[in-house]
Chains A and B, each alone.
Chain A
């Protein structure tokens, strides 16, 4: 590789470089401040992330699908997910700046770790190489363990970090073993090559699966364990409620939103090469569909009895992983699109006017970003001002903080999937490929799950607006950044509503993604 191509390749990963430099700058800034005022560090980080965001926007149109250093894909798909990750990180940085729990402790290095986690997330969605994938995943994971335990004086925070670490290492181990098996079968670490190998080996012949097929199947299942852990899908979800509850709320937001979106970007990239009429993918699709069905049902049912708002959102995010995995199942499932068009069987119908499972997942990820960030922003707002994170503690607060609470109701509507919000459009996009690929039961289960989820989401709304104020409520605290957090929440609410009504721009963007 000569210098010219090297520099040319380098120019394609400027956003990654800028973000890494931001992490170092944040560290340097904290060093200069000697922990006196962490806000400067926070703002430096926010600016760095914003700059990265702008750079990705600028690069979006130039994505040419080339592979940089033979490892990193420079395509629209990666750009889209990078955009979501950076936008999410930006909001999380701002939320951290306005989070009351961080005011007491010196948490300057927090911003540096957060940015490093974001760097890991960005590489996760853009790499085509198994080794880099694992490195990126671990960069995100290890930073997340540290982030979860950042409230050092809080026992729950430390417990959360430890739990997260133990579960995480276990899942990583399983996944790494899967990776090594895949490398053994494919003889390459290149994801497209591996996908092709899986496709070949998973073909069911006359005598059933070949030994290599069984081995490949085991490897993919082991990878699924790792992925399932990252997205907190049932039955790999055990860490998430405790970690979500114990971690500082901005970190919870990061784990629930950015980390999850990055993981789904990775999953799409991993499985994206497998489908296209491959019969061998059917058992794999069934497995993913089963995990999806269990996740959404379990997450929703368990969320119904939660008292803590963060815990409730944790279980809800398990359910949302289920919805997204259902989209992945639709992507992987063999193209049975013709089944929906009469038994005529004129081959696979052109995919025009339909959204693929992968595109639907990408759209839903964007929707999920908006509505979940918003919900967490309001939870931070309310706990900052009124010192409560439980549903009962929110009683009557809707009348005290009407704008933020009203925004929360909108986010809850969107999470439930009721128009005119972006969450509804997301669900609608997900349902299309699911139904089209013949997974009718999954589509019905998904919509019925939205009804269940309405029950617990609106326990929050009920507490805020329908209940009378609880007597124990202290007067609102000052210095709670109420205005700043309200502005963030309202901005996200406008986005939730806007993309729920004006569908063209985001839909066309997603439909142009090569998945």
Chain B
């Protein structure tokens, strides 16, 4: 499972470098805006470069954890600083590096409270990367909660008109989920051994013990067995983050009110944490809750049904939106449904599809939010109905927008296709009816995205938009890399599938499938 103890501390550098940047900004005078922004760019650039290096150093033939680091943190309770990545988390680390770096660039026009903004952005980076690399549940939880405060202030201070409401709603929802996760974590720890030496927070050990059936027995409460309680508490924590219907209502508010860069981070990475958590904790530690006696359990069916609701309901609600940003936000809900469908399938295709969807949605939704931000900066509104004929005024913008939108609707040849296709293929093997219903979501998604293209970019030219400049150099520089990824991962999906393959197969093997 574990290769060797890493001596380069690569993952620690990736995680903690932004913290140094935070300290540097703390001691920078608050009116030196350019210096602060440059520091922020530099210290989000470090994780990007290092995670790029990680891609090339990563041994793609192994399923286990690599770049493993392990130190004692709290001896009395066997809490350790353990980090490592496998095929499930490494692509997400790279995605984080990419998105956070460009989030800094797309925030270059922030003028209010610059110092605070970039310090919080760096703190957020620490939290996100920390969750992806943590292999100790306690550490995982600390990083998980570390993201809440920066997000609260980033939405609450720099957001739109209803920012206060959106910020506290985001905070309350996410905290409600994570405290239940905390209870599950404590229950798992206390159950993991009879003596101090045996008890552990290590996700690696917990996974081994869980797969061995440790959590199958335990105190039943209110007629539900111990394992189901653990699964439920953990699931709610992750489901709120994904977000799964009916826990999704914070998402549109947060997205609409958040500044562009924060929307990008929210859709691009924060939603991925939920899916990742489901794989890392629920599926690896409690496989028996999803698959027992050679068939899917009620929880797996629930996962698939919720995935279906996300796909169909999310798409229909998105279609009804008049606000461009809200439309993109609800389309995220629909897209995350495919992740759930893929995970519920628990076979290599499904899990690989879910992972591809996580990464691809990270690039495509980030691109869409950036695109919305570009037009909002010019028009100061986001009403789809008020736009029209933009393709003629801003050809460069329009072409990149088409790329993003087509990726989002899953056009073959572009990145979005692979995740959705593999998820559905995988899910069809286990839940054929649910899969068929879910495809309605695909059609509706295509419909509303194409309608959006028609309304915003085609149609009669409108005079008030004639003076709009096309993309500036900075916007161009922010959008192009995502466009490149959308095409690259579309024509060469093996770049990702080879990377995640062994880990995906190992995960699927837990459910007797290979």
Contact = CB atoms under 8 A, between A and B. Distances in A.
Interface in A409-425: 409, 413, 416, 418-420, 424
5 A-B pairs closest in CB distance: A353-B196, A447-B179, A352-B196, A419-B142, A503-B74
Interface stretch (A25-33, A131-139, A223-231, A436-444): A436-444
A455 interface: yes
Contacts of A205: none
Contacts of A170: none
A7 B163 CA distance: 67
A403 B148 CA distance: 20
A454 B74 contact: no
Contacts of A436: 190
B190 A432 contact: yes
Nearest to A453: B175
B74 A504 contact: yes
B152 A458 contact: yes
Contacts of A487: none
A511 B77 CA distance: 11
Contacts of B182: 428, 431, 447
30 contacts: A352-B195, A352-B196, A353-B197, A399-B113, A402-B116, A409-B149, A420-B146, A424-B142, A424-B145, A428-B182, A428-B186, A431-B183, A431-B186, A432-B186, A443-B186, A447-B179, A447-B183, A448-B179, A451-B172, A454-B172, A458-B152, A458-B168, A462-B167, A465-B153, A466-B156, A466-B157, A466-B163, A466-B164, A504-B74, A507-B76
Interface string B163-196: 1100110011001100110110011011101111
Given A342-B217, A343-B217, 20 more contacts: A340-B191, A341-B191, A342-B218, A343-B219, A349-B195, A352-B197, A420-B146, A424-B145, A431-B182, A443-B183, A444-B183, A454-B175, A458-B171, A462-B168, A465-B156, A466-B164, A503-B73, A504-B74, A504-B75, A511-B76
Main secondary structure of the interface of A (DSSP, over half): helix
B141 interface: yes
B76 A504 contact: yes
Interface in A459-485: 461-462, 465-467
B151 to A, nearest CB: 12
A342 to B, nearest CB: 5
A420 B142 contact: yes
A419 B141 contact: yes
A61 interface: no
Contacts of B183: 431, 435, 443-444, 447
A224 to B, nearest CB: 27
Nearest to A352: B196
A455 B218 contact: no
B455 interface: no
Given A450-B175, A451-B175, A465-B156, A507 B180 contact: no
Contact residues on B (Cβ < 8 Å of other chain), bracket: 35 or more
Contacts of A350: 194-195
B221 interface: yes
A133 B171 CA distance: 44
Contacts of A455: 168, 172
Contacts of B168: 455, 458, 462
- Which of B145, B189, B217, B221 gathers most chain A CB within 10 Å? B145
Interface in B184-225: 186-187, 189-191, 193-197, 199, 217-219, 221
A291 B293 CA distance: 45
Contacts of B199: 353
B79 interface: yes
B79 to A, nearest CB: 7
A5 interface: no
B78 interface: yes
A11 interface: no
A514 B391 CA distance: 75
A416 B148 CA distance: 12
B196 A507 contact: no
B208 to A, nearest CB: 18
Contact of A354 (B79, B196, B218): B196
Interface of B: 73-79, 113, 116, 141-142, 145-146, 148-149, 152-153, 156-157, 163-164, 167-168, 171-172, 175-176, 179-180, 182-183, 186-187, 189-191, 193-197, 199, 217-219, 221
Contacts of B74: 503-504, 507
Contacts, number: 112
Size bin of chain A's contact surface: 35 or more
A330 to B, nearest CB: 12
Contacts of B163: 466
Contact of A448 (B76, B153, B176, B217): B176
A447 B180 contact: yes
A420 B142 CA distance: 6
Contacts of B189: 432
A341 B79 contact: no
A353 B179 CA distance: 22
Nearest to A500: B142
Given A428-B182, A443-B186, A353 B157 contact: no
A339 interface: yes
A320 to B, nearest CB: 16
Contacts of A402: 116
A321 to B, nearest CB: 20
Given A447-B183, A454-B175, A503-B74, A465 B157 contact: yes
A461 B113 CA distance: 16
Contact of A466 (B167, B175, B218): B167
A400 to B, nearest CB: 13
Contacts of B197: 352-353
A69 B511 CA distance: 68
Nearest to B181: A447
A508 interface: yes
Contacts of B186: 428, 431-432, 435, 443
A417 B345 CA distance: 37
A418 B74 CA distance: 18
Q: Which residue, B175, B176, B180, B196, has most C-beta atoms of chain A within 10 A?
A: B175
A131 B156 CA distance: 55
A462 B152 CA distance: 10
A329 B178 CA distance: 25
Nearest to A340: B190
Given A413-B149, A418-B145, A431-B182, A462 B164 contact: yes
Contact of B148 (A418, A432, A447, A465): A418
B190 A354 contact: yes
B187 A435 contact: yes
Contacts of A340: 187, 190-191, 218-219
A353 B78 contact: yes
A306 to B, nearest CB: 16
Contacts of B193: 353
Nearest to B77: A353
Contacts of B148: 418
A343 B116 CA distance: 53
Contacts of A450: 175, 179
